[in-house]
A = this chain, B = another copy of it.
Amino acid sequence: MSNGSYAFVRGEIIPIGDAFLHISDLSIQRGYGIFDFFKVSNGHAFFLNDYLDRFYHSAAVMRLEVPYVPRDLRTIIQQLIRQNDMPESGVKMILTGGYSRDGYQPEQPNLIITQQPLKLPASEQIEKGIKVITYEYVRDFPLAKTINYTMGIWLSKMVAEKGASDVLYCKDGVVSEFPRCNFFIVKKDGSVATPDKNILRGVTRMKILSLAAKHHRSESGKITLDDVRNAKEAFLTSTTKRIVPIVQIDDMIIGDGKPGPVTLSLLNHLINLEKSDLRDSPL
């Protein structure tokens, strides 16, 4: 990984080249852990409260104890950001099941924090929109941000082979989420809708729901493939990608096959919201 020069591992900030875990760690033995990821711009962490809330929530769902209270975790994050001194970047916190004596039961969790350059979506993706495919699947623990991406990674090959950019999980005709993004449609009546079951509660998803409620109309609830077929616009949201318009899902062309005005207006509102977050709470 092209990381910042320093990482926080098991209690200390160390050079990234020295950042190792013993092979008894339950992430290596059994893929057991949770994580979260937020954006940083020149020392400012966007919507940090929201991400920390979700990190502690994921840990609680998976019965792992974060070894720091939020206040101390913030201090660690700030110190790491200062030492790495990267401009536009993302910070990833991983909490594993710890060094397990029997290779199965979680013990004292291990916390690691890294910082990496941000990979924004290509401007072509925003201008032209992307094609995605669907796949019949629901994650095991949709409400927790676990490290288990076995299915998402395994599907990468199929996504590439079909000339798509991502894969949308559905089950019995009901859509839910992407491996790393949330899904939205703009209905014929102009309302902005997103699934509310079997999904990760994305921070960007939440921001978009609020922005849509203010500027358009918004709802979260069941969305079927038929709803998608009848939609005027579709897009995905994520921390790194913000908003990317979707113009094709499998063989279905969405709306007129171009990024729609509501999608692009929400992207602008989101960028403005980030600016005001930066203004209101600089590091």
Contact = CB atoms under 8 A, between A and B. Distances in A.
B29 A28 contact: no
B30 A9 contact: no
Contact of A63 (B33, B151, B157): B157
A38 B100 CA distance: 20
Stoichiometry (number of copies) = 2
Given A23-B20, A114-B23, A141-B154, A31 B92 contact: no
A243 interface: no
Contacts of A105: 153, 156
A256 to B, nearest CB: 32
Nearest to A147: B31
A23 B23 contact: no
A33 B23 contact: no
B31 A27 contact: yes
Nearest to A180: B104
A56 to B, nearest CB: 17
B28 A1 contact: no
B150 A2 contact: no
Interface string A153-165: 1101100000000
Interface residues of A, number: 51
B1 A32 contact: no
B63 A154 contact: yes
Interface of A: 1-3, 7, 9, 19-33, 62-63, 92, 94, 96-97, 99-106, 112, 114, 116, 119, 137, 140-141, 146-151, 153-154, 156-157
Given A23-B94, A30-B150, A62-B154, 10 more contacts: A27-B27, A29-B94, A30-B147, A30-B148, A31-B33, A31-B147, A31-B148, A32-B149, A104-B149, A105-B153
20 contacts: A1-B99, A1-B100, A2-B101, A9-B23, A20-B20, A20-B21, A23-B114, A27-B28, A29-B94, A29-B147, A31-B146, A31-B147, A62-B150, A62-B154, A63-B154, A104-B149, A104-B156, A106-B153, A141-B151, A141-B154
